[in-house]
Amino acid sequence: MTVPHSVTQSVLYIYIYIYIYIYCTWGEIVTVGVGGPGDGYPVLGSVGDFPSRLVLHSFERETTVGGGLGAAECAKQKRSVRWCAFGDKKVEVMPGKPKLYYFDGRGKMESVRWLLTAAGVEFEEEFLKTREQYEKLLKDGVLLFQQVPMVEIDGMKMVQTRAILSYIAAKYNLYGKDLKERALIDMYVGGTDDLMAFFMRFPFLSAEEKEKEHANIIQKATSRYFPAYEKILKHHGQDFLVGNRLSWADVHLLEAILMVEEKKSDALSEFPRLQAFKANISSIPAIKKFLEPGSQRKPVSGDKYVETVRRVLRMY
């Protein structure tokens, strides 16, 4: 616990105090950790009890902090609360889970489900089933470009799949250790995205178009994309695509490999390093669990998914 000893120190603390008060009033912060242990401690406690270092540190990184309350009370608030300050101790509390707004199917949200899972983050979902649900989101002004996916995370309502994924990757340390690693991850994710784009369109094609596209997907996967990733893995001889540790690029590639295998089960037969890669990434506990039945992973999109998307988005 920090106690001011001099007039200068007291003035400094009062200044910080006023700053926080203004910040709380204007910003998103609703509660600031200032007190000692126990529920019912004043939200803005006495200056002498104020763990300024901790609070100021958090200001640089968080929009909402909890404190001045017991841990149980903080947890009850569930408002993007990251930690509570008790004297000079910082207690982590459960942050609100990200909430995903999309259809009950893969589409553009599936990669977000994969990445959150790989990061070990639990999430909630609201599935759009009716036009009214979608119109409510539009009316509430939460879909910046009138499109889903939308993800509520850390007090933001994020749209644009790529931005959502980059944020999660950066936040959970799945985005490389420096700019060069990040550039590689972006490149590899970009390639995988191009391959996945074929799968996004696929459910919406006619039976005749599907037949042609099926052959095209296998051809593109096995003659353009898989050889590229096989080469990368062979070149550095490591288990992961970038930096010898798990990144967004690995998670994304595994998702794509499994999609291709759903169309052609022996699609990896010519790619020994990708086979080992698949086994390795699939055995990461969180991912292994995600691949088991009953997880939040979505099945191959069928007619029901297509019909819902068309109805909700009025795609006729």
Site for ligand GSH in 64-123 (CB under 6 A): 107-108
Of 2, 147, 222, 296, the one binding ligand GSH by CB under 6 A: 147
**By C-beta, is 82 or 108 nearer to ligand GSH?**
108
Q: How far is the CB of 130 from ligand GSH (least distance, A)?
A: 15
Is residue 148 near ligand GSH by the rule CB under 6 A? Answer: yes
Piece of the chain touching ligand GSH by CB under 6 A; list 42-50, 146-154, 218-226, 233-241:
146-154
Listing DSSP states for 211-257 in one string gives HHHHHHHHHHIIIIIHHHHHHHHHHH--SSSSTTS--HHHHHHHHHH
**By C-beta, is 146 or 283 nearer to ligand GSH?**
146
> Which amino acid, residue 118?
A
**By C-beta, is 52 or 166 nearer to ligand GSH?**
166
* Cα 99–chain centre separation: 10
**By C-beta, is 45 or 149 nearer to ligand GSH?**
149
For residue 136, the SS3 value is: helix
Question: CA-CA distance, 268 to 291, in Å (whole number)?
Answer: 18
> Which amino acid, residue 67?
G
Question: CA-CA distance, 261 to 36, in Å (whole number)?
Answer: 56
DSSP β-ladder status, 156-159 and 150-153: antiparallel
Piece of the chain touching ligand GSH by CB under 6 A; list 16-24, 142-150, 174-182, 207-215:
142-150
Question: CA-CA distance, 54 to 22, in Å (whole number)?
Answer: 18
**By C-beta, is 94 or 163 nearer to ligand GSH?**
163
Of 46, 130, 146, 223, the one binding ligand GSH by CB under 6 A: 146
Of 161, 166, 247, 301, the one binding ligand GSH by CB under 6 A: 161
Nearest-CB residue for ligand GSH: 147
Question: CA-CA distance, 170 to 181, in Å (whole number)?
Answer: 12
Q: Which residues bind ligand GSH (CB under 6 A)?
A: 107-108, 146-149, 160-161, 313
